[in-house]
Structure 1
């Protein structure tokens, strides 16, 4: 486990799943999906802009990446694609309506905080 997550002042993180999402919408079982959604919903709901959302998710061990036209939540510790943001109740359309256009790396399709934010 990385040093960022293996700290004595924090409990061990829930890795959420050991299976890659593959072609299905989500490989998460129902209980894990609900737990993940409850854990991250305040982060999505309270984000003032894309940069704050990306930073807060990173603090919790997650990243956002595009796969085709889907916005995917990735576990940074394992590198595993967990599910789409829409699966968690936060579609890309609803996020862009509220937060505007995100900054996306052309080479990795990863969402990044704006350089000036």
Structure 2
């Protein structure tokens, strides 16, 4: 008979919620939101430009896109918009002040790195 026990040295996977958000709420529970903020906060804080932020988020399985005129963090595996960047403490206004105007892929709302010639 096999028994599985919680082992602190092997944390459980985080499951992102697929519950639809209202305009003023997040689909994440508090613990998951804090985990997400701790995981991605350094990427937002240290990014010198949009290209680096986009690349670092992609390395962690996430992307940024506009949904209903809000900048949203999307889980690449599930395609679920998890929360706004403002919810994580990084509003579009503060990111734009620091990183400049983002480049958005037409028709998708996805943020992409600026082309090298533009």
Same-fold call, TM cutoff 0.5: yes
Runs of 4+ that moved beyond 6 A: none
- The whole-number CA distance in structure 1 between the counterparts of 2:39 and 2:22 is 24
- The 5 Å alignment of 1:11-30 reads 14-24=13-23, 25-30=25-30
- The whole-number CA distance in structure 2 between the counterparts of 1:19 and 1:114 is 30
User: Quick check: 1:66 aligned with 2:82?
Assistant: no
RMSD over aligned CA atoms reads: 2.1
Q: CA deviation at 1:17?
A: 1.2
Match of 1:53 in 2: 53
Match of 2:110 in 1: 110
CA 1:15–1:115 in structure 2 vs 1: closer, same or farther (change >3 Å)? farther
Question: Which SS does the other structure have where 1:71 is aligned?
Answer: strand
Using CA pairs under 8 Å that are at least 6 residues apart, name the structure with larger relative contact order, 1 or 2.
1
Match of 1:6 in 2: none
CA 1:66–1:44 in structure 2 vs 1: closer, same or farther (change >3 Å)? same
- The 5 Å alignment of 1:75-86 reads 75-86=75-86
Q: Report if the CA contact (8 A) 2:63-2:74 is conserved.
A: yes
| Alignment: residue pair count | 107
Question: Which SS does the other structure have where 2:77 is aligned?
Answer: coil
CA 1:87–1:16 in structure 2 vs 1: closer, same or farther (change >3 Å)? farther
Q: CA deviation at 1:116?
A: 1.1
